[in-house]
Amino acid sequence: MSETDWEALKLAAMDARSRAYAPYSGFAVGAALQTKNGRVFQGCNVENASYGAAICAERGALVAAVAAGERDLVALAIVGGAERPTPPCGICRQCLSELAPDLRIRSYTDNGAFTDYELAELLPDPFDRTQLE
């Protein structure tokens, strides 16, 4: 497994954030998701005039990875614009948990402060495929 270069992952998330489409909230978010073999997939939030149709940066990165054939996901960097690091929302926690329940997450403010999370601590008892049995 490749090590996580958090600095590079943060820069990739900042780069994605620069392309966020957030005219309604004004809250731009970028994400960068690293796969086990070292590839990085970016996402940014994409909002909509139908507000509920907004897609978060984290899910954007997730679907980009899956569409490229990558499902082995190890680390996620997030960059938001709040004073405190932005934790992933509940829907994103659920979506990430489907493929990467042990994901490591580092969320940054845009001035570089960060908080580390484990997805398993953010979503301790996920609804997963075993509940469908």
The residues annotated as belonging to the active site are 58
Closer to ligand THU by Cβ: residue 1 or 89:
89
Please give the residue ranges that form the binding site for ligand THU (CB under 6 A).
22, 25, 27, 29, 45, 47, 54, 56-58, 86, 88-89, 92
| CA dihedral of residues 18, 122, 118, 14 (deg, nearest 10) | 0
> Of 29 and 100, which CB lies nearer to ligand THU in the complex structure?
29
Can you give the chain as a three-state secondary structure string? CCCCCHHHHHHHHHHHHCCCECCCCCCCCEEEEEECCCCEEEEECECCCCHHHCECHHHHHHHHHHHCCCCCEEEEEEECCCCCCCCCCHHHHHHHHHHCCCCEEEEECCCCCEEEEEHHHHCCCCCCHHHHC
Q: Which is nearer to ligand THU, 30 or 74 (CB)?
A: 30
Residue 76 Cβ vs ligand THU, minimum distance, rounded to whole Å: 10
- Rounded to a whole number of angstroms, the minimum distance from the CB of residue 113 to ligand THU is 16
Residue 102 Cβ, how far from ligand THU at the closest point, in Å? Answer: 19
Residue closer to ligand THU, measured from CB, 18 or 25: 25
